[in-house]
Amino acid sequence: MYISDFTVPDTLAARGALALARQYQSPAITAHALRSWLWAEAFAVVDGIRNIDHELLYVAAVLHDIGTVTEFDNHSISYEHAAGHVGVALTAGAGWEQPRRERALEVIVRHNWPRVDPSMDAEGHLLEIATGLDISGARPDALPEDFRREVLAAHPRGALAAEFGACVLDQAARKPDTAAQRLVDGGVVAKLAANPLESL
């Protein structure tokens, strides 16, 4: 398994998502987003999940944390809902029909669920387990080590642990009824620091 096995969609929505991520997010958060896309695509292969909307998965992965940045932060709703609405706006501009735009929102929101049933939402499930690996270190040995090393070399973790930990603590403090509080209560800061990917 290699990065070259997975093709970045050559579409207006995909290019726009990456442009937004690079303009508004830090390099560490954007690298996390790109790793999450690659982990998601790789999990689809190893878990035998087929019939994926690859453009939807890419756009959702790239934008899933954009609701944490100042320009898109929302004072009343969770950062994943805010990010999902950025996804709706972006994909509307790219010409997606409303049902598919709503799928972008659903997939981004569901990445923060404790578990997503793949039979209900394959893309949401893949993004949930991919971010679970990149943030909390879940299923670290499910993907080949050489592939993990290649992805980390292409998209280094950098200051992700410190940046994302601070971000989630801030979100939880300001919006304690959102998933950010559940992540904090679940020890996400310690999980970030202990993630096996940090030392690979």
- Which residues make Cβ contacts (< 8 Å) with residue 90, sequence separation at least 6? 13, 16, 17, 20, 59, 63, 104
Name the helix (H) or strand (E) containing 88.
Answer: helix 79-93
Q: What is the largest CA-CA distance in the chain?
A: 43
Kindly report the backbone phi and psi dihedral angles of residue 43, in degrees, each rounded to the nearest multiple of 5, phi listed first. -60, -35
* Per-residue pLDDT band at 33 (split at 50, 70, 90): very high
* Per-residue pLDDT band at 200 (split at 50, 70, 90): confident
Question: Which sequence spans correspond to the domains of the chain?
Answer: 3-199
pLDDT average, residue stretch 76-94: 96
Residue type, 200: L
pLDDT of 180 reads 93
- Read off the pLDDT of residues 40-50 as tens digits, 9 standing for 90 and up: 999 999 999 99
- Read off the pLDDT of residues 135-184 as tens digits, 9 standing for 90 and up: 999 998 999 999 999 999 999 999 999 999 999 999 999 999 999 999 99
Quote the tokens at residue 163.
């940046």
- Are 80 and 64 in contact by the 8 Å Cβ rule? The answer is yes
pLDDT of 17 reads 98
* Per-residue pLDDT band at 6 (split at 50, 70, 90): very high
pLDDT of 155 reads 98
Kindly report the backbone phi and psi dihedral angles of residue 142, in degrees, each rounded to the nearest multiple of 5, phi listed first. -75, -25
Global pTM value: 0.95
- Which residues make Cβ contacts (< 8 Å) with residue 89, sequence separation at least 6? none
- Are 123 and 57 in contact by the 8 Å Cβ rule? The answer is yes
- Read off the pLDDT of residues 88-144 as tens digits, 9 standing for 90 and up: 999 999 999 999 999 999 999 999 999 999 999 999 999 999 999 999 999 989 999
Q: How far is CA 28 from CA 17, 57, 100, 120, in A?
A: 16, 20, 29, 31
CATH number of 3-199: 1.10.3210
The CB-based long-range contact list for 153-156 (8 Å cut-off, 24+ gap) reads 154/3, 155/31, 155/32, 155/34, 155/35, 155/38, 156/31
Kindly report the backbone phi and psi dihedral angles of residue 56, in degrees, each rounded to the nearest multiple of 5, phi listed first. -60, -45
Quote the tokens at residue 167.
């971000």
Distance of alpha carbon 145 from its chain centroid, rounded? 21
Sign for the CA dihedral angle at 74, 69, 167, 55 comes to positive
Q: Is the pLDDT of residue 199 over 90?
A: no
